[in-house]
Amino acid sequence: FFYLLRPSELIMVLKIFFPQCCNRADSGLLVGRWITGHDSAVVLAVIHYPFIPSQVKQYVQQSRVELSVLGSWSLPKEGQEGMESFLRDLSTIFPQERWLQISRQMGKMGFTCQVLDRDQSKTRPPGTCGEEEEKVIFIHYEQRKVMLSELHRIENGIPAPKADPPSELSQVRDTVANSQPLFFMDKYDDGPLKSTHWQSEGREASIIVELLKQASVPLCLLISWMLSIWTWICNLRLYPVRFLSSKLSTCVQLSYRTEHMRALCSPKAAAGHTQFMRKANILVSFLVDVALGVLLMSWLYRDDHITALANTLVPAADHVAKELEELLQWLMGAPAGLKMNRALDQVLGRFFLYHIHLWISYIHLMSPFIEGILWYGGLSACLGLTFALSLLSDMVALLTFHIYCFYVYGARLYCLKIYGLSSLWRLFRGKKWNVLRQRVDSCSYDLDQVTLINVAWNQSENKRHKNTRKQLFLQVECVCSPTAFHWDAAVHRPGSCCPPQRSTTSSSLW
C-alpha cells in the first residue's frame, strides 16, 4: 500500500501551546511568540484589562524577550457579557498577521478558538468544510516545569546536529526557558500592566537557597586557599618521602581527595552540563563516603572493639609466621616428591627463616603500641570510608612486608638464571645479542669459543651434581620459591611484581 499525497487532502493544523496557569485567568490579551517555520504559537502570559494600548506596545517592544501580541483571551465572569465586539475591535488596535480569539465558559471544560487572518479578514471556526480546513490543536503545558527543564541534545559525534533546524518542540521549550525576564513582575507589583503567568502569585524563592548562595563564594575561596597551602606543603617533601608516599595507598588517596576538593571549590562556575554533573557527582560521593566512615567509627569505638582487634592481631601474625616456617621446611625437604638441589635449598631456606624470625621479633616489639595505633588510625575514618580502607591496606602491606621480600629475592634469582641461560643458549645456536641495536644477530665463533661455551653450559646446569635429573629440577627450585610468595605480591603494587628489566640485570651481572 502507498498513499499519494493529494493536495486537497492536506490538513493545515495550527498548534497553540497554552500555559496551564492561565486557564482561570481573567480576560485579557495574549502575549507570546509565533514559532518560525512551523504553524504554531506559544502563549507566555495574559495581560489583563484595563490597559492602555500604547503601554502594551511599549512593553512588548522593550522587553528583552522576543514577544508579540497573539490575540485575546476571554473568560467572562458574571455581568461581563457582550465582550465579543470589544474583543474583535482589539485586533484592529494591534495589527497582526493572525489573530487568535480563545474563549472559555466558566464551569465548562471546552475551549473555543477562532483564527482571524488579516488578509482575508474572515473567521474560520474549526469544523467548517472548505478547500483547506484549518484544524487547531490546543496543547496545555506546565509552564514552571518546562521553564526549569533542560534539553540535552544527543550528540553522536557528528557535527551535523548544530546545522539541523531545531524541531518544533525544542523551539517551544527554548522560547519558554528564555522568557525568564518576563516573569519578574507579579500581581503585587504596581506596574502599568497586570499579567498572569506562573509567577503571578508571587515570585518563588527559598531563603535557605539564597543564604547558601551568598555564603558559598567566600567559603569556596577559603577552602581553595587552604588547599593551595596544603599542596605547597606536600610538594616540599624530600626525595625518600616522595618515593614512599607514591607507594603508600593512604598518601595516594589523600592526593585524590585533594584533587576532588580542588575541583569542587574552584570559584568559577562549571563550563557545561557535563562539568556540572561531574562536580555534583564528586560532592555526593564525598558525602556518602564521610557518612559511611562515621558509621564505621560509631561501630568501632563502642564495646571495646579496638582492644579486641589489637588482641587478635599479634596472635594472627604469629600464626602466619608459623605457617610460613612450615612451608619453608617443606620446600627445603622434598616438596611433592621432587628432588631439589640441597645446597641451594639450605641457603635460601635459612636466609628466609632468619628473615621471618627478625620480622616476628619486630612485631612483638611493637605489640604494646598497636592498640594506640589502631585507635588513632580509626579516627581517620571521619575523612571517609575509603581513607580507613586505604589505611587498613597499608597496614596489611607493612605487616606482610617480609613475604614480599622473599618474593623479590626469588624473582631476582630466577631472572638472573634465565638471563644467563638464554644468553648461553643463543651462543650455542651461533647468535649474539646486539646491545646497540637491541636485537639478536648471528655471529660466527671459533672452535675454542664453542668448546668453552659447551663446558660453561654444562657447568651452569651441573652445579657439582652427578645426577643429570637434578640439573633440570634446579630450575624447578628457582621457580617454586617465587611462585610460593607470589600471592603476597598481589597485595603490593602490581607494577613492582614483574621481574626486573633486562638492562638492569645485565648491569648487575657484568
Partner 1 sequence: MEDEAFTDINGKAISLDCQDHSSFCREFTVSSPKVSIGKVMGYTCSVWLIAYSVFFFTQNTAVLSSAIVVTLVGMMLHIHFVKVDHESLLVIGSLGIQVSYSYASGRETTTFIEMSKIKDIVINEAIYMHQIIYYLCVLLKDPSNSDGVSSVVPLFQSSKPRLNCLVKVYKSCQEILSKC
The secondary structure element, H or E, covering residue 48 is strand 40-48
Say which residue the cell 503571578 belongs to: 200
Among 52, 93, 158, 382, binds partner 1 (CB under 8 A): 158
Q: How far is the CB of 149 from partner 1 (least distance, A)?
A: 14
Write the interaction track for partner 1 spanning residues 212-251; mark x where CB under 8 A is met and - where it is not: ----------------------------------------
The secondary structure element, H or E, covering residue 370 is helix 342-379
446 binds partner 1 (CB under 8 A): no
Among 60, 65, 169, 309, binds partner 1 (CB under 8 A): 169
Spatial distance between the Cα atoms of 245 and 78, rounded to a whole number of angstroms: 82
- Residue 388's nearest CA partner among 244, 249, 227, 491 is 249
Write the interaction track for partner 1 spanning residues 258-297; mark x where CB under 8 A is met and - where it is not: ----------------------------------------
Spatial distance between the Cα atoms of 159 and 163, rounded to a whole number of angstroms: 8
Query: β-strand 195-196 against 134-141: which pairing, if any?
Result: unpaired
Assess contact for 28 and 49: CB atoms under 8 A. Answer: yes
Residue 228 grid coordinates: 593551595
151 binds partner 1 (CB under 8 A): no
Q: How far is the CB of 11 from partner 1 (least distance, A)?
A: 5
Q: How far is the CB of 5 from partner 1 (least distance, A)?
A: 7
Residue 159 or 272: which CB sits closer to partner 1?
Answer: 159
Assess contact for 203 and 186: CB atoms under 8 A. Answer: yes
Q: How far is the CB of 117 from partner 1 (least distance, A)?
A: 19
- Using CB under 8 A as the binding rule, the residues of this chain from 106 to 135 that contact partner 1 are 135
Span from 72-80, 167-175, 386-394, 481-489 in contact with partner 1 (CB under 8 A) = 167-175
CA angle 276, 141, 81 (to 5 degrees): 145
Rounded to the nearest 10 degrees, what angle do helices 342-379 and 468-484 cross at?
A: 0
Q: How far is the CB of 146 from partner 1 (least distance, A)?
A: 14
Span from 2-10, 60-68, 273-281, 438-446 in contact with partner 1 (CB under 8 A) = 2-10
Q: How far is the CB of 372 from partner 1 (least distance, A)?
A: 43
Q: How far is the CB of 106 from partner 1 (least distance, A)?
A: 25
Say which residue the cell 503601554 belongs to: 55
Residue 260 grid coordinates: 576532588
Which distant-in-sequence residues (6+ apart) come within 8 Å of 481 by Cβ?
Answer: 331, 348, 406, 409, 410, 413
Q: How far is the CB of 51 from partner 1 (least distance, A)?
A: 33
168 binds partner 1 (CB under 8 A): yes
Distance from chain centroid for Cα 9 = 53
* C-alpha pair distances (Å), 494 with each of 85, 394, 416: 86, 14, 21
Among 3, 232, 376, 510, binds partner 1 (CB under 8 A): 3
Span from 44-52, 163-171, 360-368, 405-413 in contact with partner 1 (CB under 8 A) = 163-171
Q: How far is the CB of 54 from partner 1 (least distance, A)?
A: 37
162 binds partner 1 (CB under 8 A): no
- State the distance between the two ends of the chain, measured CA to CA, in whole angstroms: 86
Spatial distance between the Cα atoms of 486 and 483, rounded to a whole number of angstroms: 5
CA torsion angle 218 219 222 228 (round to 10): -120
Residue 154 or 238: which CB sits closer to partner 1?
Answer: 154
Which distant-in-sequence residues (6+ apart) come within 8 Å of 50 by Cβ?
Answer: none
Spatial distance between the Cα atoms of 421 and 428, rounded to a whole number of angstroms: 10
Write the interaction track for partner 1 spanning residues 10-29; mark x where CB under 8 A is met and - where it is not: xx-x-x--------------
Residues in contact with partner 1, total (CB under 8 A)? 18
Rounded to the nearest 10 degrees, what angle do helices 249-264 and 239-247 cross at?
A: 90
161 binds partner 1 (CB under 8 A): yes
150 binds partner 1 (CB under 8 A): no
Span from 5-13, 322-330, 485-493, 501-509 in contact with partner 1 (CB under 8 A) = 5-13
Residue 135 or 364: which CB sits closer to partner 1?
Answer: 135
Residue 300 grid coordinates: 568501632
Binding site for partner 1 (CB under 8 A): 1, 3, 5, 9-11, 13, 15, 135, 137, 139, 158, 160-161, 164, 167-169
